[in-house]
């Protein structure tokens, strides 16, 4: 008889995803400069896009979930930034290549988790992908 172990993830920002987001913010910031708007409007729009994009990128590097646990019986538990644990419901999951993107709801809140090969243990990520495909 096989015994399925629970999986635990310490959520940390992905350097690859952070670089990708910053590259997209840079491209979006430069885009208004090539329009036919007046120069002042182009610079103002580029500054606004840069400010909002950098603020959102910084927010994305501080995930609402600090630790994520999937028990062997299929129950999810999230631990927030303050260290409080809550039972959670997996709303959606998406596997893209070797990466896994999860969406959770708990205690009236919601959060997204991006588990990529550069911020997660490869063995745990492989086990998670297998368990998610078996649960469908």
The number of C-alpha atoms within 13 Å of 111 and in the hemisphere containing its C-beta is 24
- 8 Å CB contact between 125 and 98: yes
User: Cα–Cα–Cα angle for 96, 100, 101, nearest 5°?
Assistant: 100
For 7-49, how does the pLDDT look when each residue is reduced to its tens digit (9 = 90+)? 888 888 889 989 999 999 999 999 999 999 999 999 999 999 9
Helix (H) or strand (E) holding 22: helix 15-30
pLDDT interval class at 3 (50, 70, 90)? very low
């Amino acid at each position: 008889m096989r015994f399925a172990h629970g999986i635990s993830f310490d959520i940390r920002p992905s350097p690859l995803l952070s670089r990708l987001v910053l590259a997209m913010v840079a491209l979006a910031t430069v885009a208004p400069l090539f329009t036919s708007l007046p120069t002042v409007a182009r610079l103002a729009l580029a500054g606004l896009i840069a400010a909002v994009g950098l603020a959102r990128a910084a927010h994305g590097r501080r995930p609402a979930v600090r630790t994520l646990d999937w028990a062997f019986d299929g129950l999810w538990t999230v631990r927030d930034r303050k260290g409080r644990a809550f039972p959670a419901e997996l709303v959606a999951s998406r596997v893209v290549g070797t990466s896994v993107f999860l969406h959770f709801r708990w205690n009236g809140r919601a959060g997204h988790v991006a588990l990529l090969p550069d911020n997660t243990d490869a063995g745990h990520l492989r086990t998670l992908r297998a368990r998610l495909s078996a649960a469908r």
